[in-house]
Amino acid sequence: MSQLSNLYLFLYNSLQSFGWALALFRVLSSFVLTKSVGGAYASAGELICFLQTVAFLEVIHGAIGIVPSGALLPLMQWGGRTHFLFAIVRGINEVQELPSVFITFLAWSMSEVIRYPQYALSCLGRCPSWITYLRYTAFIVLYPIGMAPGEMWLMYQALPYIKEKHLYGDSFLGLPFSYYNFVQAVLLCYPFLWSKLYIHMFKQRKSKLAKQHEKKKR
């Protein structure tokens, strides 16, 4: 059963690696060809939406215990990204060419083309130490870039369009609901929720790199 789980996780992480590498290639190719950051969504948006949808499997992986992450933190990360992608970027055409989309997609793609290969190679027990180091170091820069000038700034820029379009109505399951107010609340809570994930990553970094150091000493 352990071998089957490892094989499945290797295939899953390998496919995600390929998908995010392709997304990064499309984002950068669009930038080089057009000399503009406005084509990020047009070039890679649908692919990134697909990859993010499939990534819900990572919540299930944690919930059923085939990875040690648990379900809560993967669910927080998946939920935040999915809301940002589908409700904001995909749902509001006017924001799709803003620089914040390019910044977010670039930061996400660069993070994932490191993270998923590290996971895939770890399933084989053959992950080079430099990839592990990069996995638990690059996030220090990439995560804040994706969060502040990327996700948060774009949500702020989207607020006038949400209000003007009366986006997603005034009710949810029969209850009074204002999506405009919801996004404002999300913007207020976002740094606190994000910092929980960021601090968790630092704890993981300390643990993983300490284990790696011990292996080298042996």
Residue 110: burial class (beta carbons within 10 Å; 0-12, 13-18, 19+): buried
Two tokens, residue 206: 């300390």
Vertex 139, ends 85 and 43: CA angle to 5°? Answer: 35
Residue-by-residue DSSP string for 107-163: HHHHHHHHHHHHHHHHHTT---HHHHHHHTTTHHHHHHHIIIIIIIHHHHHHHHHHH
Active site residue 58: no
Q: Quote the crossing angle between the two packed helices 99-123 and 40-54, to the nearest 10°.
A: 40
Two tokens, residue 192: 């606190």
86, 56 in Cβ contact below 8 A? no
Active site residue 151: yes
Candidates 12, 151, 179, 190; catalytic one: 151
Two tokens, residue 87: 């409700």
Candidates 116, 119, 143, 179; catalytic one: 143
| Positions marked active-site | 143, 151
